[in-house]
């Protein structure tokens, strides 16, 4: 009852192993009839190729390492969906390395791990290139950045500046003061991301272009409690100042927007009327709560990132490419 091999399939289909290998790899030079016979043998035998054997025979590992932060957001689930879809089509395996902490990252970069054995590397959100040079990775693996941008590296990134701008352009459509809540950025330099800076600069730009100024700015860490407290502080200020309501608040992440809506409900403030709320991310629950927000084509970004890496693996040697993805505004009741 041992696992069937390519040999077994070849015998059963009455062809040579080479032919079986060809149909396995979608090689064009196979006659239709032959291909069908092989395919039938494969399914009859419930044959699955041994990945280790192809790794050793082909000189490639057919494995991609994906390094990503472990924020338990839907964002990374969707990102992985996009990445995995593309890699699976190309028969690559993906190994996920959650960056739980800094020392773990360094271990991943040690030469004994799977990360080292992989054919390519996907780095999400954080640009760890610098660190890679410190550790002078011997085999410079093809690398692609996703949800991050850097020069001289292939990357697929979300244009958060544009996202911020769209939010700003929507904000200025209404009169009244405009406020914003930003997300506190990580302290560790290594784990820094420019996402929220970008959203801010896009937003500010739109306001400036419309000749509008920003009222209050608050900063909150990415945490429900902190978000709620920040929302309360902002509303306290807004409610006590003359002409404070109606106003518009750009909450630069849906988590913040949700907390703001909660706090507004307590105070009897009506979304879209007393306080117009614009979020960011289009989280799954954003629709139900009627949050006007920015949707990000995350899966597409992941898919494209994977595609960029695959072209490198297939021999592309040209200059680094950058693929930009634009968030789109989804208008709902909150603004």
Where along the sequence are the contacts to DNA (CB under 7 A)?
Answer: 2-3, 5-7, 14-22, 24-25, 28-31, 33-35, 47-50, 53-54, 56-59
**In whole angstroms, how close is the CB of 220 to its own copies at the nearest point?**
12
Taking CB within 5 to 8 Å according to partner kind, which of DNA, its own copies, none is near residue 100? its own copies
Taking CB within 5 to 8 Å according to partner kind, which of DNA, its own copies, none is near residue 129? none
Partners of 236 in the beta sheet? none
**In whole angstroms, how close is the CB of 91 to its own copies at the nearest point?**
8
Identified binder of its own copies from the candidate list 84, 154, 198, 281, rule CB under 8 A: 84
Residue 133 · residue 110 · CB < 8 Å: no
**In whole angstroms, how close is the CB of 125 to DNA at the nearest point?**
33
Identified binder of its own copies from the candidate list 11, 172, 226, 313, rule CB under 8 A: 226
Rg (Cα) of the chain, in Å, rounded?
Answer: 25
Taking CB within 5 to 8 Å according to partner kind, which of DNA, its own copies, none is near residue 76? its own copies
Q: Half-sphere exposure of residue 258, counting CA atoms within 13 Å on the CB side?
A: 18
Written as six digits, the tokens of 268 are 């009897």
Beta strand 328-330 pairing with 293-295: antiparallel
Residue 188 · residue 102 · CB < 8 Å: yes
96 scored as a contact of its own copies (CB under 8 A): yes
**In whole angstroms, how close is the CB of 173 to its own copies at the nearest point?**
31
Taking CB within 5 to 8 Å according to partner kind, which of its own copies, DNA, none is near residue 317? none
**In whole angstroms, how close is the CB of 8 to DNA at the nearest point?**
8
| Alpha helices (runs of H) in the chain, residue ranges in sequence order | 6-13, 17-24, 32-45, 51-58, 74-89, 102-108, 114-117, 129-134, 160-171, 195-209, 224-240, 254-267, 298-313
Residue 321 · residue 308 · CB < 8 Å: yes
182 scored as a contact of its own copies (CB under 8 A): no
3 scored as a contact of its own copies (CB under 8 A): yes
Beta strand 178-183 pairing with 154-158: unpaired
Q: What is the DSSP letter of 277?
A: E
**Cβ neighbours of residue 31 closer than 8 Å, sequence gap 6 or more:** none
Q: Which of 129, 146, 119 is nearest to 55 (CA)?
A: 119
51 scored as a contact of its own copies (CB under 8 A): yes
314 scored as a contact of its own copies (CB under 8 A): no
Written as six digits, the tokens of 175 are 């009169």
Q: Half-sphere exposure of residue 214, counting CA atoms within 13 Å on the CB side?
A: 21
50 scored as a contact of its own copies (CB under 8 A): yes
270 scored as a contact of its own copies (CB under 8 A): no
Residues 117-136, interacting with its own copies (CB under 8 A): 117
**What is the Cα–Cα distance from 130 to 143, expressed in whole angstroms?**
13
**In whole angstroms, how close is the CB of 84 to DNA at the nearest point?**
20
Q: CB under 8 A: which stretch of 6-14, 112-120, 171-179, 277-285 binds its own copies?
A: 112-120
Taking CB within 5 to 8 Å according to partner kind, which of its own copies, DNA, none is near residue 227? its own copies
Residue 292 · residue 332 · CB < 8 Å: yes
**In whole angstroms, how close is the CB of 39 to DNA at the nearest point?**
12
Written as six digits, the tokens of 84 are 């995995």
**In whole angstroms, how close is the CB of 93 to DNA at the nearest point?**
13
Residues 57-76, interacting with its own copies (CB under 8 A): 61, 63, 70-72, 76
Residues that bind its own copies (CB under 8 A): 3, 46, 48, 50-53, 55-56, 61, 63, 70-72, 76-77, 80, 84, 88, 93, 95-98, 100-101, 104, 107, 111-114, 116-117, 138-139, 223-228, 259
């Amino acid at each position: 009852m041992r696992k069937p091999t390519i040999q077994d399939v070849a015998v059963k289909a009455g062809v040579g192993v080479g032919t079986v290998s060809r149909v396995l790899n979608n090689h064009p030079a196979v006659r239709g009839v032959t291909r069908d016979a092989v395919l039938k043998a494969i399914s009859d035998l419930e044959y699955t190729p041994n990945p280790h054997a192809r790794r050793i025979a082909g000189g490639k590992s057919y494995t991609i390492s994906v390094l990503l932060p472990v924020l338990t957001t839907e964002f990374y689930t969707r990102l992985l969906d996009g990445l995995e879809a593309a890699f699976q089509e190309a028969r690559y395996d993906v190994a996920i390395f959650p960056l739980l902490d800094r020392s773990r990252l360094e271990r991943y970069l040690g030469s004994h791990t799977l990360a080292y054995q992989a054919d390519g590397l996907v780095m999400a959100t954080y640009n760890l290139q610098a660190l890679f040079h410190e550790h002078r990775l011997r085999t410079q693996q093809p690398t692609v950045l996703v949800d991050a941008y850097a020069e001289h590296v292939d990357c697929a990134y979300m244009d958060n500046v544009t996202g911020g701008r769209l939010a700003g352009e929507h904000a200025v459509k209404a009169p009244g003061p405009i406020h914003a809540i930003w997300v506190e950025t990580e302290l560790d330099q290594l784990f820094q991301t420019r996402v929220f800076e970008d959203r801010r600069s896009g937003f500010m730009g739109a306001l400036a272009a419309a000749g509008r100024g920003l009222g209050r700015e608050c900063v909150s860490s990415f945490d429900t409690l902190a978000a709620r407290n920040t929302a309360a502080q902002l509303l306290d200020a807004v409610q006590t100042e003359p002409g404070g309501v109606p106003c518009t608040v750009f909450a630069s992440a849906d988590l913040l927007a949700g907390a703001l809506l909660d706090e507004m409900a307590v105070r009897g403030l009506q979304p879209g009327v007393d306080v117009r709320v614009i979020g960011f991310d289009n989280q799954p629950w954003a629709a139900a709560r009627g949050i006007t927000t920015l949707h990000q084509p995350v899966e597409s970004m992941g898919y494209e990132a994977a595609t960029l890496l695959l072209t490198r693996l297939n021999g592309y040697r040209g200059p680094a490419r950058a693929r930009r993805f634009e968030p789109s505004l989804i208008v709902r009741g909150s603004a």
